Every structure is written in structure tokens, then in C-alpha cells.
Chain A
Amino acid sequence: MDNNRTNKSSSIEQSSTVNRQLSIECRKLTKQFGAFKAVDEISFDVEQGEIFGFLGANGAGKTTAMRILCGLSYPTSGQATVAGFDVYKQQESIKKNIGYMSQKFSLYDNLTILENIEFYGGVYGVSRPDIKTRSNKLITTLGLEKEAKKLVGELPLGWKQKLAFSVAIFHRPKIVFLDEPTGGVDPVTRRQFWDMIYEAAADGITVFVTTHYMDEAEYCNRISVMVDGRVEALDSPANLKNKFNTDTMDDVFYQLARGAKRMDN
């Protein structure tokens, strides 16, 4: 762990000053279904404002771990805190302090852009005037002034994903969880999407992201690779590439996950 910490300080550089706060803290976190250890004693820390890539082969246990961290399911053993809240006892507080976006479920197609924003703002208890000012600002930044009253279903996929991300951080959460946010999106939009992620991280929001695009993994400050329920590697992309003696993340992943025994579903 200590080793990782020192590596990290060289890879996250933004105004590295006083002790950074830990956003996520995992110690031997385990989730067991019968005899099957979906998540097997994983330990890692994520710092405030860090972009943390959470990778793994299909069925490695990513989704299960993410569900625990989002306060959607209880671990079997081990400790973890998210935004300072305990995953056993303070699930409700966790939910209030995180944002979540996935490729599959993001926005309501049959509501307009504004209605979607208002709905999510309301769900997270953002005050009415705040919703108003923030949604105006959001729509201007995204350049969606003309489309604000349009149904989300009519937007192109790339726009939807960008909007979904903006909505996920609308209530200014401490951490945002992104589950394969850019699947199937064109490369230009994907880049714009990552610009938004960088911006959010620069604002101090911790970004916890899963992806199948290995080049995207390299955008992260640090990445962890899960294989068969365990975190097999955790470091900055550059360090990982050095360690595995290769120049693509693709190859790092391949070397790690090749031996995976587990199947998904």
C-alpha cells in the first residue's frame, strides 16, 4: 500500500499540498455469495479529487464491489468508508454524497432535458432556486439552450451521456461513480466527456470509473485491475506499463487477466 502511495504522489500532481483527504478507504472488503467470493479481500484508497480507474475482466467482481461502495449492498466482511461514511451503517449518508451514472440507465427518455435535471436535483434535495440557477448554467455550458425543452430521447447518444454525467454531479457530490460511461460513443464525444471528467476532478470531485476502453484507463491518475475477485494491480498507468514491461495498457490488462478463471453471470 505504502508503495502505491508514493507512486501516486508523482502521478497526481494538481497543487499537491496539505494532506489529501481520503475519499474511499477499503480494507479487506469481501462479498461472499455462499462459497463464492465475488469480492475477495480488496484493499485500496482513493484520494479526494483523484480519477480512479476500476478495471477488471468480465465477472471479476467489479460490479459487486461498486454496489457496496455505492451503498446498495452490504459487504460480508472487511471495512470500507465512502466520503467518510461507513458502508455498513451509513448507507443513506453515502447515497446522499455520491453521484452515479451508468451506460445502461442514465436519464428518462420521455422527459425533457430540463425536467430530467429538475427531477434529479429534487431527488437529491437541491433547493428550488439552486436547481434553477444551476440548471441554467449547466444548459449554457453544454450549449443546449435550444434543446432544453426537447425530450432526452431525441438527443444523440453522445449528448445524452454528457448530460447524464452533468446530472450525476449536479448535486455536487463528493464522489461520482461512472460505470462504463462512454460505451459506444464516438471518439470526439468521448474526449469531450473526459474533458468534463477532468474538470470535475479539478473541482475536487473524486471520479471512480470503470471502462472497457484501455486508452481511457490511461486518463486515470491511478487504476486498479481486478482479477477473480482480487485487486491484482494498483498503480498509475505509467508505472504499470513499466512494471509489465510494455507500452500499452491493453497489454498490461492482458497479462493480468489472461489467467482469470472465473466467468461472469
Chain B
Amino acid sequence: MSSVSVKNIIKTYNKGEVKAVNDTSFEVAKGELFGLIGPDGAGKTSIFRILTTLLLADSGTATVEGFDVVKDYKEIQNIVGYMPGRFSLYQDLTVEENLSFFATVFGTTIEDNYELIKDIYEQIKPFSSRRAGKLSGGMKQKLALCCALIHKPKVLFLDEPTTGVDVVSRKEFWDMLGKLKKQGITIVVSTPYMDEATLCDRIALIQNGSIMSIDTPGNIINNFPKALFAAKADNIYKLLQDLRAEAEVESCYASGEYTRFTMGHGQLTTDNVKSRLIESGHKNLVIKKIIPGIEDCFIRLMNS
């Protein structure tokens, strides 16, 4: 039995005018770290709210640990941990007061479940009497995670936990998720940062309420249908424009200091392209074949 199961969920707002979730289905296995990857407005939050019983879907069914999200919402409330996207704790309560409040609300105590949150809580324990509003972004996030874990949930739903947080805190946060996964907790996490996708067991790439692809990050990358090239020259912007002007270049977009492109089905090779670019005055031109990332796959899927 899978831990989370979503079947043909449709959710619209404004009387059908806005389609937030468009006939979406997916399964998350027990103990899996599953990522919903997509930009704002892709429908991630709606899916989370449906699964945490906060929203009713227009049609379709969903279960969490075998419980129906509509009928058995009371059972689900006992077994899921949820960190909403805009969750920011009670700013005027201390770290400890926040945690003990949420523990009580869930009918438990900090002591009872200390084992599970120990690793994370130890990091913020020195600040336990500080008000949550005075914590850094990274620490707030750790505290929020502790609050979501305090009742030993079987399934953890994290809606964009790393948005707006700096790289260091993001790294630490994903390390923590890895550890939680080892304890057997199913984790469903959403993120707009494509580079975080590879840290998940399986991911769903989601855009405009529809899942474009769902697989392990490795498979999604392997399924990239073309060879991907990266080009670099002194003048990035001109390179981008010149590559786009090439008939043989199928798609082309900037990515870091390199410009990435794929070739069409014509006869010309990248060598031909290279010599033409050098002719048109590009200096220090480098073209190399690279392994695509999730973002390249996402862009390709969006454009197809």
C-alpha cells in the first residue's frame, strides 16, 4: 500500500475560472522522499491542502496512509505533520513555548517525542528562551520542522520549506530531511528550486496544475531526448543572440555563465556552429557537451 495516493484530483477556484489542479494523479510509497517541483501557481499548495484535509477537491479521490481525505479527516489529522508555505510560528512566543504549545495541541508532550526531534532541536536549544520572531530564517525553519514533527507523524507535508532561505540553511534543511527519511517517515516536499530536486527519491515536475513528468531524478535526466551543449564566450549576450539565430540550433537559453543549447535534426554539427561563431567574432569560445539538469528537463517539458 502506498502512503499517499492521489487519483484524478481536480481543483478550481472562482467557480471554475482558475484551474489550480488539473486532473492530477500520483502515488508516494511508504518512507519515500517525494518532491513536487514547480514554480509559484503550479498548484503545489492546493495539492498539499487537499492532502492535509484543509481543502475539498472538486473531483477525484485522495488517501493518506489509507485514510480518505474527506471521510476520514479526523484520522488523518493524527498522523500527518504539516508545514504550510507561509507558516511563521507565533513570533511573540519563545522557541520552547511554541514547541510545547504545538505538542499540547496534538495531545502529546515534548518529552514523549524528544527522540525524533532531538537532532534538530539540539541546534536551536541554546535559543530556547528567545522569541520566535527574533530567530534567523534558518532557525525559524528548524523550529517549524520540530513543531510539525512533535507528534511523530507518519507522513510529513512540507510546502516550500526552503523558499527565501539562504543556501547554507537550505543545505542544512535537506540534510535533516534525509535523516528523517531514515526513520521511516514519508515526506512530501515542494520547492521552486530545481537544484533541490535531485535530493528527492522521486519527483513530479508540475506546471499549471498538471504533472509533466514523474520519476526518479536520475530517470528524468536520462530521458532528456537530446544531447545538451553548453557554450561560453566573452560576450554572453551576443553569444545567446547568435546561437538563437542559427537555424540548426533547436533551443537555446542562458544558464549561468554558459549558454545551453540543443541541435536540430539537420546535418550541421556543433563544430560547424563553433566555427561560424568564431567567424562572427566571438573570443574565448568554448563548446562542450554536458549532462542536463532537472531544470533543463523542466524547460524542455514546458516548451513541448
| A and B pair up | yes
Q: How far is the CB of B256 from chain A (nearest CB, A)?
A: 3
Chain A, range 213-252, C-beta contacts under 8 Å to B: 213-215, 218-219, 237-238, 249-250
Task: Report if A157 contacts B (CB, 8 A).
Answer: yes
Q: What are the residues of chain B within 8 A of A263 when measuring CB–CB?
A: 134-136, 139
Q: How far is the CB of A256 from chain B (nearest CB, A)?
A: 9
Chain B, range 243-286, C-beta contacts under 8 Å to A: 253-257, 283
Q: Mark each residue of chain A from 182 to 211: 1 if its CB lies under 8 Å from any CB of chain B, else 0.
A: 011111110100110011011000000000
Q: How far is the CA of A156 from the CA of B194 in the complex (A)?
A: 20
Q: How far is the CA of A218 from the CA of B236 in the complex (A)?
A: 11
The answer to whether residues A58 and B195 also contact, given A157-B41, A184-B39, A191-B253 and a CB cut-off of 8 A, is no
Query: Which residue from chain B places its CB closest to the CB of A60 in the assembled complex?
Result: B166
Q: Which of A184, A194, A257 has the most CB of B within 10 A?
A: A184
The answer to whether residues A260 and B163 also contact, given A156-B41, A198-B240, A215-B195 and a CB cut-off of 8 A, is no
Known A157-B40, A263-B139; 5 more pairs at CB < 8 Å: A57-B168, A195-B240, A215-B195, A257-B167, A262-B136
Chain A, range 1-31, C-beta contacts under 8 Å to B: 10, 13-14
Q: How far is the CB of B13 from chain A (nearest CB, A)?
A: 13
Task: Report if B298 contacts A (CB, 8 A).
Answer: yes
Q: How far is the CB of A165 from chain B (nearest CB, A)?
A: 15
Q: What are the residues of chain B within 8 A of A194 when measuring CB–CB?
A: 254
Contact, CB under 8 Å: A13 / B283:
yes
Q: What are the residues of chain B within 8 A of A264 when measuring CB–CB?
A: 136-137
Query: Which residue from chain A places its CB closest to the CB of B298 in the assembled complex?
Result: A187
Q: What are the residues of chain B within 8 A of A14 when measuring CB–CB?
A: 235, 237-238
Contact, CB under 8 Å: B237 / A215:
no
Chain A, range 160-185, C-beta contacts under 8 Å to B: 183-185
Q: What are the residues of chain B within 8 A of A262 when measuring CB–CB?
A: 136
Q: What are the residues of chain A within 8 A of B257 when measuring CB–CB?
A: 218-219, 237-238
Q: How far is the CA of A13 from the CA of B207 in the complex (A)?
A: 37
Contact, CB under 8 Å: A58 / B207:
no
Contact, CB under 8 Å: A184 / B40:
yes
Q: Mark each residue of chain B from 154 to 173: 1 if its CB lies under 8 Å from any CB of chain A, else 0.
A: 00000000011111110100
Contact, CB under 8 Å: B164 / A254:
no
Residues in chain A within 8 A of chain B (CB atoms): 10, 13-14, 56-59, 156-158, 183-189, 191, 194-195, 198-199, 201-202, 212-215, 218-219, 237-238, 249-250, 253-254, 257-258, 260, 262-265
Contact, CB under 8 Å: A218 / B171:
no
Contact, CB under 8 Å: A254 / B167:
yes
Task: Report if B193 contacts A (CB, 8 A).
Answer: yes
Q: How far is the CA of A59 from the CA of B283 in the complex (A)?
A: 39
Contact, CB under 8 Å: A13 / B133:
no
Query: Which residue from chain B places its CB closest to the CB of A11 in the assembled complex?
Result: B234
Contact, CB under 8 Å: A199 / B256:
no
Contact, CB under 8 Å: A59 / B299:
no
B contact residues, total (Cβ < 8 Å): 42
Contact, CB under 8 Å: B299 / A188:
yes
Identify B192's interface contact among A184, A202, A237, CB under 8 A: A184
Q: How far is the CB of A152 from chain B (nearest CB, A)?
A: 15
Q: What are the residues of chain A within 8 A of B38 when measuring CB–CB?
A: 186
Contact, CB under 8 Å: B136 / A265:
yes
Q: What are the residues of chain A within 8 A of B303 when measuring CB–CB?
A: 188
Task: Report if B295 contacts A (CB, 8 A).
Answer: yes
Q: What are the residues of chain B within 8 A of A183 when measuring CB–CB?
A: 40, 163-164, 192
Contact, CB under 8 Å: A265 / B133:
yes
Contact, CB under 8 Å: B39 / A218:
no
Task: Report if B302 contacts A (CB, 8 A).
Answer: yes
Q: How far is the CA of A59 from the CA of B138 in the complex (A)?
A: 11
The answer to whether residues A218 and B41 also contact, given A58-B165, A183-B164, A264-B136 and a CB cut-off of 8 A, is no
Contact, CB under 8 Å: A184 / B237:
no
Contact, CB under 8 Å: B256 / A249:
yes
Contact, CB under 8 Å: A198 / B256:
no
Identify A58's interface contact among B169, B238, B298, CB under 8 A: B169
Query: Which residue from chain A places its CB closest to the CB of B167 in the assembled complex?
Result: A253
Q: What are the residues of chain A within 8 A of B166 when measuring CB–CB?
A: 56-58, 212, 253, 257
Query: Which residue from chain B places its CB closest to the CB of A217 in the assembled complex?
Result: B256
Q: What are the residues of chain B within 8 A of A265 when measuring CB–CB?
A: 133-136
Q: How far is the CA of A184 from the CA of B159 in the complex (A)?
A: 13
Chain B, range 111-153, C-beta contacts under 8 Å to A: 133-139
What are 14 A-to-B residue pairs whose CB atoms are below 8 Å? A14-B237, A57-B168, A58-B165, A186-B38, A186-B298, A188-B299, A198-B236, A198-B240, A212-B165, A212-B166, A214-B195, A253-B168, A265-B133, A265-B136
Contact, CB under 8 Å: A185 / B40:
yes
Q: What are the residues of chain B within 8 A of A201 when measuring CB–CB?
A: 237
Query: Which residue from chain B places its CB closest to the CB of A156 in the assembled complex?
Result: B41
Q: How far is the CA of A59 from the CA of B139 in the complex (A)?
A: 12
